[in-house]
Structure 1
Amino acid sequence: MKKFWQLWLSAILATFLLAACGTDDAKKDNTPVNGSSQTEDQASEEVAEFPLTLTDAVGNDITLEQAPETIVSMIPSNTEILFALGLNDEIVGVNDWDNYPEEALEKEKIGGMEFNVEKIVSMTPDVVFAHESMLGTGEEGLQQLRDAGINVFVVKNAADFEQTYETIKTIGQATGKTEEAATIIEDMKAKVEEVLAKTAKVENEKRVFIETSDVPEIYAPGKNTFMQQILDMIGAENVVTEEDWVMISPEEIVKQNPDVIIVMYSYVPDIVESVKKRDGFSDITAVKEERVVQVDENLTSRTGPRLALGLEEIAKAIYPEAFGE
């Protein structure tokens, strides 16, 4: 189980790389880096009228004659967006890892990182929503789906909140759910504003370490990652100063002495207590002050409708006093 979880995590982490600049001012103006293409932005802002042609993340034009009646989703973030848009009846297949909402558990599974092309073809979906993070391992399978005459829309890697909003807009347009998409985005933005208003009052900035896997290979987000953007937004300091995702030793974590340790995975039982018992960790401020906190990795890693709740969960873990906790 651990092996498969880590393989999937490595794919998910690929969706969290930000552009090399622009995150420093995220907290000031709540305007994350927006690297989405002009074509995708323009398309997502138009009212959905069919037939409709959209350009996906790899530059392919996808023409939909009408709002799709049968949909396959190939990654959890897409699935959460589709369900939030009210497309339960239209969704006929989902990824093996899809676990939210509960209705997703009842859908036919099409595989994980290695998906079942024949099964998807047999479902005769009007559209398959793939994802840019899949291209390294799944491009051959996606081309087989295209060759079978199936519309494959590759959704762009959302590298920040703004691109997540654009993704929701685009999927909403592709499915004829533009109004529902707009409502989801408005609700997300309201939650983000609420969280930032509370954390803006914090006076003492906390130094934070976030880990996404356990020993012996502890991985953590550094600069130019989605998690870095979140920390910037709520006024917290990342103790990891290297670029992107890095493997870090327990000794270095002790040396950095974070005020808060956030555990962003759940495949290890009683992981919070396990972290506290690592050699030398009893001297870390976060351990001394009982500030080792486990968060829901689905909320904090899936770039979909619940991402604003993930921001709130991270903020509460670091600054509980700002939320009256």
Structure 2
Amino acid sequence: MNFTDQLGTQHTFETTPKRIVSLVPSQTELLYDLGLEDAIVGITKFCVHPFHLKSTKTIVGGTKQVKLDKIKALQPDIIICNKEENTQEIVDSLKEICPVWVTDIYTIEDNNKMIQDFGQLFNKRTEAMKWLDKINFAHQDFQKFITDKAPRKVAYFIWANPYMVAGGNTFINELLKLNKFENIYDNNPTRGEAEQSVAKYEGRYPEVVVQKMRIQGDPDVIFLSSEPFPFKDEHAFELGRHTHHATTIFVDGEMFSWYGSRLVKAFDYFKKLQDRLGEPHLHSH
């Protein structure tokens, strides 16, 4: 059986892979939701959904550093990685052990392709189809919900000391756009242009000078993501000072950055978030 992953790497399997190591939290959740709990043998310490996997599966490290000997001992048939979450070095070193399947996700289409691929790869086509139907239904429903909402300028912070934001060409940015949130740090290169252009903000998660926020776009809303950095009220206060009128909101980072089956929950979450933003008392001056 021949399959091609999202980086264009070809893989050949004699039989359906039975022992899976997953090095991406959202993809671990997806594998579980596709009915593959028994096939998952190794996960990262950040794979927190569903919670019980942490006590029933072998923890093989994080997403950026893994314990190769632990992975090897699990004798996996396949290791699932992601271009953004895992480094090229990790992927290269894991290839010595077994085939490494790498996903690459910027858009909802990319996300759906991953689910379809997993359905074929692990012989879970029916389950994959069910999840794709749920996602597509929730997506269409949300698009109707959002039609009459006014666009808002936003900044989405993922880190402090130094302050870093989600820029363009990221899955987070894609979900912001879906919400009619105009990311003031979206440097806007398409995938093809990204290689050539010298963007206003370098990289997909640029460091930013918050003192310049007013002149760089002066957002209506500042989002502080719950992961990977634990933002506190003092960050919200400090960032708010550098805008004219922005409302600062703590948001669930998983809803904006996890792909896979999580998207179904994300659309519900976005509806609630939009309703919250519509409440008059939120607009602080």
What band does the TM-score fall into relative to the shorter chain?
0.7 to 0.9
From 202, 206, 213, give the equivalent of 1:253. 213
Alpha-carbon offset, residue 253 of structure 1? 2.4
- Alpha-carbon distance change, 164 to 124 in structure 1, aligned in 2, over 3 angstroms: same
From 132, 142, 145, give the equivalent of 2:94. 142
- Matching of residue 209 in structure 1 with residue 122 in structure 2: no
Letter of the aligned partner of 1:131 in structure 2?
Answer: N
SS in structure 1 at match of 2:156: strand
Give the corresponding residue for 2:33: 84
Question: Which structure shows the higher helix fraction?
Answer: 1
From 240, 243, 254, give the equivalent of 2:185. 240
Give the corresponding residue for 2:197: none
- Alpha-carbon distance change, 220 to 315 in structure 1, aligned in 2, over 3 angstroms: farther
Give the corresponding residue for 1:108: 58
- Matching of residue 230 in structure 1 with residue 178 in structure 2: no
Higher relative contact order structure (alpha carbons within 8 Å, sequence separation ≥ 6): 1
- Matching of residue 63 in structure 1 with residue 12 in structure 2: yes
Alpha-carbon offset, residue 209 of structure 1? 1.4
- Alpha-carbon distance change, 156 to 268 in structure 1, aligned in 2, over 3 angstroms: closer
Number of residue-to-residue matches in the alignment: 261
Q: Where does structure 1 lack aligned partners over 5 or more consecutive residues?
A: 1-51
Give the conservation status (yes or no) of the 8 Å contact 2:227–2:254.
no
- Matching of residue 130 in structure 1 with residue 77 in structure 2: no
Q: 2:49 & 2:16 partners in 1: Cα distance?
A: 23
Give the conservation status (yes or no) of the 8 Å contact 2:3–2:121.
yes
Alpha-carbon offset, residue 302 of structure 1? 1.8
SS in structure 2 at match of 1:237: strand
Aligned-pair identity in percent equals: 23
Q: 1:126 & 1:250 partners in 2: Cα distance?
A: 46
Q: Deviations over 1:62-101 (max 9, x none)?
A: 2333333321112112211111101111111111211111
Q: 2:71 & 2:114 partners in 1: Cα distance?
A: 23
Give the conservation status (yes or no) of the 8 Å contact 1:210–1:261.
yes
Give the corresponding residue for 1:190: 137
Q: How does 1:22-101 map to 2 (within 5 A)?
A: 52-101=1-50
TM-score normalised according to structure 1 size: 0.72
Letter of the aligned partner of 1:277 in structure 2?
Answer: F
Q: 2:77 & 2:152 partners in 1: Cα distance?
A: 49
